[in-house]
Structure 1
């Protein structure tokens, strides 16, 4: 991290970081979307005017304001305006519907709710009324944002250790959990990410995932520290988004494993020797396991570096690959933790302590269950540290299949299947079985026009790959597409268990 970025990383609050960067490089662009461009100076000025408009509506320090908005410049402005006021904000993923959104509003006790009106065919305003939201207002473009004269505003918050952010876990298996963050925990996560990726003021980034995800402020902090811009994508789809990547000369892109796969699939459609995005030099992300074969294919075929990391809503940045690291480490590990992150492995489980770790959950009982007696967060993830300090993920506590009393890692089998030429993606699940306790079921997507894969072929391949006999799948299901969430495209294994636990006809 350069000296300027290092100094900025000590900012006590997110708003202080905005103000410091605006004073340093007011005329440099920070947000690019379509034909629009916002500078760091504009970011501070416009956010403060939105803060004044919110203040006139009754928003005060500590007021809980939820927002469910797509990835737009206006979303960033509204979020920073709330940070300027010292309000408590609760971002809600725009794909959430009545159940999840209503739950988030009730649990957070939100006094205001910002929505985009009708977005992608869904009437968010009507949904907000339906779930009983308070203080509903639309914020779908620059003209609809609250606006006012900043003169009467109180001073910005002076400290960044109070809880001012409530993020929501995905809720893929039960109701979402409200994760409590501070300005400092978000700044710490973004600082670690910026340092690990070795970015410079000459880079051009991209935010192709929902800004309401914990990765939103993580990425914004990185832009503020290094003073470079990012292209915002309200809806990410390939090949449609490629024109914007090329137009703005994006140098670093990504999001998660699914994003890497989508870019690679588009690269394979190009004529030999043609780079998909000529300016691109780095793909980076996290949020889901990365098979080594995918790393190797991206580097070989796209001609870019790929660095993958490990994070979660509770801790936005835990480890990250270093672009200058050895290929073996980049392919097979999640990188190393920054100096401020303590990792402890207890009975195979990864536990964490550091400034980027959340303060807990809205539900005190969930907080008590999540932290051990020494203040380490229990992640529920399994892993190990190598001699060089790199973290290797080996699975999930709840993603271990217990077959005849033997623990089987789903991830181990998935990594092997990912290298099979007839497999585009794979998920391995345990299904109830009267004789074994659980049986191993492999669920795979296949490439277009591929010959139908059979269970004997899978078993033969996995045995040849060195997989122990007791771990071999006893069932194979081929699906058109694995079910995924709408944020970082994680596979929803609970849906597969629900689908395939039913008796076969």
Structure 2
């Protein structure tokens, strides 16, 4: 366990507030209601409906049980010495969909401790970086997940990251073979009954740290306050017309903004409905869960929606209770959108949102063509939207430009990222989203692409620069360009085009995968296509020409890794290798 003092700055340090006059307007108009997130479970329990609040496999929690567990777990966190209140300590939460991630997030916000929500797909490298940058005091992991011993990984991180003092482990069985300072999450809650009268944090305090899409390397930390995030989930629920009859399948990660509060799990609880928590969106399990629990609403990224459609058509399986399928996280092709409704027997609701704030939905009252062709319109009358050119000037109606926004739940700056904030925010507090959009004649937005160099793999925004930096650590790699390659299921996947040293043995996709695994990088960031070339195309000013690189990738035919490659002696590129 780490020893010695560690100075941890308050979470408010490095935050960019809204201007005072705008904060006053948001409160006067009732958008900011002065409600801490952690106070919601008690409110929900006072009006408890007869159905469960949460369902996780064979486990479930009523609204009253959820409120009790949140209070008990908040007390347990306080017993550990985690400081709550308005300047709370950070807790890095690395949990899959299940009861534990919901109760942990709510307990943290009840105490005023700030959860940092990592994704289940993140590897040890990403977690170490997030723990270090957030100065997290505690790490929460499942005992095991998808065959990985995460308690063992957590123990290493607590030993390596100076600020980490506590390892909390969620496990169905007693914890073993982990250090003495590991704490069983369920025992922590059960032994905290003497902790009572915990103070609530101020509504204006930072409630949680979400992760950006990582479009410029490592993800930025997004500070969301209690005021703005409660409004986020309430306004989302109203726009989607959720109520106590809503049964929501949460198979997208709850750690994602989409799965947490758009409307997500918190939105359905605020509406008095039921959240069904699935750790995986795989069709067979998802359809079985939806039919078992009478799911009425589900959310998916386009790749998952496509798989669900294919499964329904190929097996003849349907979900009679399912009324609405929300699709977001990436652009949904119109031809797929047109097939989803008849193929799944649902109403499609497209979404365009960002963890930084602005959320758009098509409405259930929109004509079908609008739901097929657009990604919706803002949820709040306080949302301000501009579509601008490269000089920051508004483009004519219907033309493509970058989406800029500000409003009552859109941040004014990333946490402790002063230099990046100067690039990401324009004068006046406008957030430069990086999304290229146009305004549809109905007023809805249509996504036309991304301004930045990213790969949108099944809704995960992956920085090409980050993958290139990891590739350069491979011995013999002299130049590399990482681009998106079209994929019918994922939308896009990662292609690496590489120039290697002449004396380097043939580089294989297997060697690349081993390299990424050894560096403990999340699996979804590992290149899936590899092209070895004599040289990379350059622009007139000597920069790598990514447009030409994309054409090179598109002109190759993927082959299996067991096929032979052409010789580089003749100057031809080696065929594209598919992992």
Once residues 96 and 474 of structure 1 are traced to their aligned partners in structure 2, the CA distance between those partners, rounded to angstroms, is: 29
State the 1:134 CA deviation: 2.8
Indicate if the aligned counterparts of 2:329 and 2:352 stay in contact, CA closer than 8 A: yes
**Structure-2 residue corresponding to 1:95:** 121
* SS in structure 2 at match of 1:433: coil
Contact 2:32–2:228 (CA under 8 A) maintained in structure 1:
no
Q: Structure 2: how far apart are the matches of 1:64 and 1:150?
A: 23
Using the alignment, how far apart are the partners of 1:51 and 1:240 within structure 2?
A: 32
375, 384, 395: which one pairs with 2:429? Answer: 375
2:235, 2:548 → 1: CA distance?
Answer: 38
Tell me what 1:259 maps to: 304
Question: Residues 423-453 of structure 1: CA distance to partner in whole angstroms, max 9, x if unpaired?
Answer: 556549998535894556779xxxxxxxxxx
Q: Deviations over 1:130-149 (max 9, x none)?
A: 23243112123573443312
Shift of 1:29: 1.6
Q: Provide the residue aligned with 1:22 in structure 2.
A: 45
Equivalent pair of 2:251/2:286 in contact (CA under 8 Å):
no
Structure 1 residue 371: deviation in Å? 1.2
CA distance 1:425–1:165, shift in 2 (3 Å): closer
Q: RMSD of the TM alignment (CA)?
A: 3.0
Deviation at 1:369, TM superposition (A): 2.1
Paired residue for 2:369, among 308, 328, 332?
328
Report the equivalent of 1:41.
Answer: 64
State the match for 2:236 in structure 1.
193
Alignment of 1:199-348 (within 5 A): 199-218=242-261, 219-271=264-316, 276-315=318-357, 317-338=358-379, 339-347=381-389, 348=401
* Contact 2:250–2:265 under 8 Å retained in 1: no
Number of equivalences: 428
What TM-score do the two structures reach when normalised by structure 1? 0.77
Residue number in structure 1 paired with 2:211: 168
The alignment partner of 2:39 has SS state of helix
Q: Distance in 1 between matches of 2:361 and 2:152?
A: 41
The equivalent residue for 2:450 is: 396
Unaligned runs of 5+ residues in structure 1 are 1-5, 402-416, 444-454, 456-472, 481-501
Distance in 2 between residues matched to 1:244 and 1:425, nearest whole Å:
23
Q: Secondary structure at the match of 2:406?
A: strand
2:181 corresponds to 1:181: no
CA shift for structure 1 position 280: 0.8
Q: Deviations over 1:182-209 (max 9, x none)?
A: 1222222222321222223112111102
- In the other structure, the counterpart of 2:406 is 353
Cross-structure match for 1:433: 537
Shift of 1:170: 4.4
Q: Is the 8 A contact 2:237 2:267 kept in 1?
A: yes
In the superposition, relative to structure 1, how do residues 400 and 366 fare at CA in structure 2: closer, same or farther (>3 Å)?
Answer: closer
CA 1:139/1:179 → structure 2, altered by over 3 Å: closer, same or farther?
Answer: same
The 2-side partners of 1:426 and 1:93 are apart by 20
Gap runs ≥5 in structure 2: 1-28, 173-184, 390-400, 456-485, 498-535, 561-571
- Indicate the larger mover: 434-443 or 237-246: 434-443
| Partner residue, 2:514 | none
Identify the residue that residue 139 of structure 1 maps to in structure 2: 170
Match of 2:200, SS state, is coil
Is the partner of 2:350 in helix, strand or coil?
strand
CA displacement, residues 40-98 of structure 1 (integer Å, 9 cap, x when unaligned)? 12111111011111111112211211111111112211111111101121121122112
How has the CA–CA distance of structure 1 residues 297 and 123 changed in structure 2, closer, same or farther, with 3 Å as cutoff?
same
- Alignment partners' CA distance in 1, 2:207 and 2:32: 18
CA contact (8 A) 2:412 2:431 kept: no
Task: Give the TM-score normalised by structure 2.
Answer: 0.68
CA distance in 1, matches of 2:341, 2:312: 11
SS in structure 1 at match of 2:452:
helix
Instruction: Give the match for residue 574 of structure 2.
Output: 504
Q: Which residue of 2 aligns with 1:129?
A: 155
1:360 positional shift: 2.3
